[in-house]
Amino acid sequence: MEKVTVPLGARAYDILIGHGTLPTLGQAVAATGLEGRCVVVTNPTVGALYEQPVLAALTAAGFSASVCRVPDGERFKTAKWLGRIHDHLLEQGLDRHGFIVALGGGVVGDMAGFAAATFLRGIPFVQVPTTVVAQVDSSVGGKTGVNHPRGKNLIGAFHQPRLVFMDMAVLATLPRRELLAGMAEVIKYGVIADRAFFDYLRGHVAAILALDPQVMARVVGRCCAIKAQVVADDETETSGRRAILNYGHTVGHAVEAVTGYRRYKHGEAVAMGMVAAARIAHKLGRLDARAVAAQVDILEAFGLPVALPRGMDPNRVVAALGHDKKAAQGRVKMVLASAIGQVELVPLAPDEIGRLLA
Ligand code: NAD
Ligand code: GLY
């Protein structure tokens, strides 16, 4: 099993990446010092596939575990369903020695993590991410939360997990579109931090699409290592360093908002946003044309969209940019690449972004 550590002092934790390792989850959790009672939070889709092996692994290691299912979907990542998780924890008599196991994609992970952050003023939790997005991004770094009718992820807390445990074999059941959307976030790491990794991805498209266990472990491991370092440098996104993880997200979020969060997977919108950011950087004289083309090529190789949706009114995208929760004094800090593997934060007014997008 590959191990990446998130170096956060007293709150440091390991990310364990293996293949076919779900039966060893209980031992890995026990090794962190957790004991007693836990609640596995999942959804019906993931639960039907993996809840039994997870429960078996936990009970075999001496834990007493129950399951709390929330409905499958971003629209259920709400205060209401967070409350249902709290209800279940209370019904099970979980006390401050108990813990949560988040089994699923980013929706389950964010919401279960926030339940852990808020229950009895904070209990530990373990992430068992089952999508590519969750494995390379949402399960690492401690951002937890739920959506509010006024926007995504507006209610939340930083709460680091005690352990992130990944069995890459679970990706075999992940719908193809989810796998591809997750690859946008993977490619993002190459652009923001590691040219050699970007080139590795270009050379291993077929192996990744075939879910080659060794290649996938290396890919996910490298993403986690990059994220772990960024999170260690700027855990609560105060210095600006952590904001580099939002490469492609400025325009991506705007596209998601304009299309009502229904038409595109988040990763698909991020793919469009990465190309938009690359073109903007090129127009500003910051990035050469070859680096733009390289991003377009690799995103297309993974079947991801690279152009804004046909017929989409750019004015609506610009209007949505203004609502970006990271906007300050009317300017959006956009992450722009100066080369593959190197990015900077550049404050731009939404109108300016609109002009550069045209
Ligand atoms: P998701 O959690 O909705 O999962 C996608 C779909 O795949 C769901 O239908 C799910 O039931 C299904 N699924 C999950 N694992 C499966 C498996 N192994 N086999 C079969 N089906 C499976 O979506 P996601 O892309 O994982 O996560 C998106 C969420 O993550 C968003 O809410 C986003 O805000 C959040 N996010 C958070 C962070 C963070 O830092 N906390 C970072 C990125 C994204
Ligand atoms: N997904 C962005 C972050 O964790 O900061």
- Residue 144 CA: which ligand is closest? 1
pLDDT for 325 equals: 54
Distance 71 CA to ligand 2 centre (A): 24
Q: What is the pTM of this model?
A: 0.97
Do residues 99 and 32 lie in contact, with contact meaning Cβ atoms separated by under 8 Å? no
Structure tokens at 248: 């492609």
Do residues 222 and 184 lie in contact, with contact meaning Cβ atoms separated by under 8 Å? no
CA distance 243 to 223: 16
- Residue 133 CA: which ligand is closest? 1
Give the ligand 1 atom nearest the CA of 113: 41
Residue 146: beta bridge partners? 155
Tokens 């210095």, located at residue: 239
Q: CA angle, corner 299, sides to 218 and 225, nearest 5? A: 30
Q: Is the CB of 84 under 6 A from ligand 2?
A: no
The three-state (H, E, C) secondary structure of the chain, written as one string: CEEEEECCHHHCEEEEEECCCHHHHHHHHHHCCCCCEEEEEECHHHHHHHHHHHHHHHHHCCCEEEEEECCCCHHHCCHHHHHHHHHHHHHCCCCCCCEEEEEECHHHHHHHHHHHHHHHHCCCEEEEECCHHHHHHHCCCCEEEEEECCEEEEEEEECCCCEEEEEHHHHHHCCHHHHHHHHHHHHHHHHHHCHHHHHHHHHCHHHHHCCCHHHHHHHHHHHHHHHHHHHHHCCCCCCCCHHHHHCCHHHHHHHHHHCCCCCCCHHHHHHHHHHHHHHHHHHCCCCCHHHHHHHHHHHHHCCCCCCCCCCCCHHHHHHHHHCCCCCECCEEEEEEEEECCEEEEEEECHHHHHHHHC
Cβ-count burial of 170 within 10 angstroms (0-12 exposed, 13-18 middle, 19+ buried)?
A: buried
CA distance 174 to 119: 30
Q: How are beta strands 125-129 and 99-104 bridged, if at all?
A: parallel
- Residue 244 CA: which ligand is closest? 2
Give the ligand 2 atom nearest the CA of 237: 5
> Phi and psi at residue 170, in whole multiples of 5°?
-70, -20
CA distance 2 to 16: 6
Do residues 291 and 357 lie in contact, with contact meaning Cβ atoms separated by under 8 Å? no
Do residues 114 and 156 lie in contact, with contact meaning Cβ atoms separated by under 8 Å? yes
Query: Could you give the residue numbers annotated as active site?
Result: 121, 143, 185, 227, 237, 242, 246, 249, 253, 266
* Residue of minimum CA distance from atom 27 in ligand 1: 106
Burial readout 30-44 (b: 16 or more C-beta within 10 A, e: otherwise): eebebeebbbbbbbe
Q: CA angle, corner 266, sides to 264 and 270, nearest 5? A: 100
Residue-by-residue pLDDT tens, the chain, 358 positions: 999 999 999 999 999 999 999 999 999 999 999 999 999 999 999 999 999 999 999 999 999 999 999 999 999 999 999 999 999 999 999 999 999 999 999 999 999 999 999 999 999 999 999 999 999 999 999 999 999 998 899 999 999 999 999 999 999 999 999 999 999 999 999 999 999 999 999 999 999 999 999 999 999 999 999 999 999 999 999 999 999 999 999 999 999 999 988 899 999 999 999 999 999 999 999 999 999 999 999 999 999 999 988 888 878 888 888 666 555 667 889 999 999 999 999 999 988 998 998 8
Do residues 267 and 185 lie in contact, with contact meaning Cβ atoms separated by under 8 Å? yes
End-to-end CA distance of the chain: 47
Q: How many other CB atoms are found less than 10 A from the CB of residue 56?
A: 15
Handedness of CA 145, 147, 148, 151 (dihedral sign): positive
In terms of phi and psi (left: phi > 0; alpha: psi -120 to 50; beta: otherwise), the region of 140 is beta
pLDDT for 313 equals: 82
pLDDT for 311 equals: 82
Lining ligand 1 with CB less than 6 A are 43, 45-46, 49, 72, 74, 77, 104-108, 110, 130-131, 133-134, 137-138, 141, 143, 152-153, 170, 173-174, 178, 266
Domains annotated for the chain, with CATH where assigned, are 2-173 (3.40.50.1970), 176-357 (1.20.1090.10)
Distance 142 CA to ligand 2 centre (A): 9
pLDDT for 315 equals: 83
Give the ligand 1 atom nearest the CA of 185: 43
